[in-house]
Homo-oligomer: A and B are copies of this chain.
């Protein structure tokens, strides 16, 4: 019986996060305020605790993980690394395929890795409540879980259309004690303004962010928490890649190519940053972000300053973007429907340290179903993007008779995405390649900077 799971003891949970900033060939451009000047740490203190702000700008390579955070992570970590032997056999490929499975967390994805750290630092800073936004519910449920672990109240502004269509993610947040408010709501100026204009508004992530930030900024006992994009979130996620390195050592293997799904960048940063120094040292390893063709931020976007949200309330970040008023179609991988990308991931992609590829929706579900039949686990549609790319590479290896080692992040399970599988299986899913003209047009919305 060949070994297919590579496990670590709890004592092997990393003691430090890896900060990629000191190892980047070129630094990411600073965040800018409405005045076009770099945002000061002070400006962020209305909604973030000091430790998080410090991490956002730190140039230390290794940042210690506080013991209470390690104890919280211990509930599900270390997560397993699998050799996908059955998938290899199904594809009849000479390639070896490994995947790191983050769906073992109680919330079902990698998101709690940062949620527990953010909850801890906020509690340490005397904060009693956290607000956030959620679309499909992955991040909202992760923060509700983290709140229950550190004794913080969590209020989640959930995009109204999701609130109504995805009641089970809502029930999950409430089970952990989170409060879920359909957005737009009457609780904030931002929400009331939207409702005044359209009493039946279905909401959007942009509006929900505005509501969550407004509430956090207006209350001393309340802060805001974000689940991707920012440096500190990617920092917390590096635990994925750090564990994977140790597990591959146990497997006696090293990847030739790594795939991770890419929305805001927390998966890409989490898995790939810890392999960056090897690459810089001359190791022959490819790091490939996988995004949907319907939201091709890296593969078709422009590298420019843009807002992080639709309403233009966030600082300006230099990133690959499709324009902050880009409206991605309603694909079934909500976590990848984001117009921009992390500044760190964007800079590294610009510097050709990271690569990117875009895959279409139907082929992505096809890959997810193949994977489920081979390995049992039903993947989240976001994760299936990485699976698609890994399968394509394994098939290429078969064609070319090459034995390569492929690694990908299986960022979550699809237990709350079965409606999307149902639609795929009944032939109701379509591909959507965003037309180049539309992307060009959206770029005109880019703010003028400098």
Contact = CB atoms under 8 A, between A and B. Distances in A.
A5 B1 contact: no
Contact of A175 (B104, B175, B369): B369
Contacts of A375: 75, 106
A106 B376 contact: yes
Say how many copies of this protein the assembly contains.
2
A3 interface: yes
A172 B106 CA distance: 19
Contacts of A7: 7, 9
A174 B369 CA distance: 10
Interface stretch (A46-54, A277-285, A354-362, A414-422): A414-422
A76 interface: yes
A172 B11 contact: no
Given A1-B10, A4-B74, A106-B378, A419 B171 contact: yes
A351 interface: no
A175 B378 contact: yes
A221 interface: no
A168 interface: yes
Given A104-B104, A174-B425, A175-B425, A418 B373 contact: no
A119 to B, nearest CB: 13
B75 A149 contact: no
A450 interface: no
A372 interface: yes
B176 A106 contact: no
A93 to B, nearest CB: 19
Nearest to A365: B175
A395 interface: no
A67 interface: yes
15 contacts: A1-B71, A3-B10, A5-B10, A76-B376, A108-B415, A149-B376, A168-B415, A170-B422, A171-B418, A171-B421, A174-B421, A174-B425, A175-B369, A175-B372, A176-B373
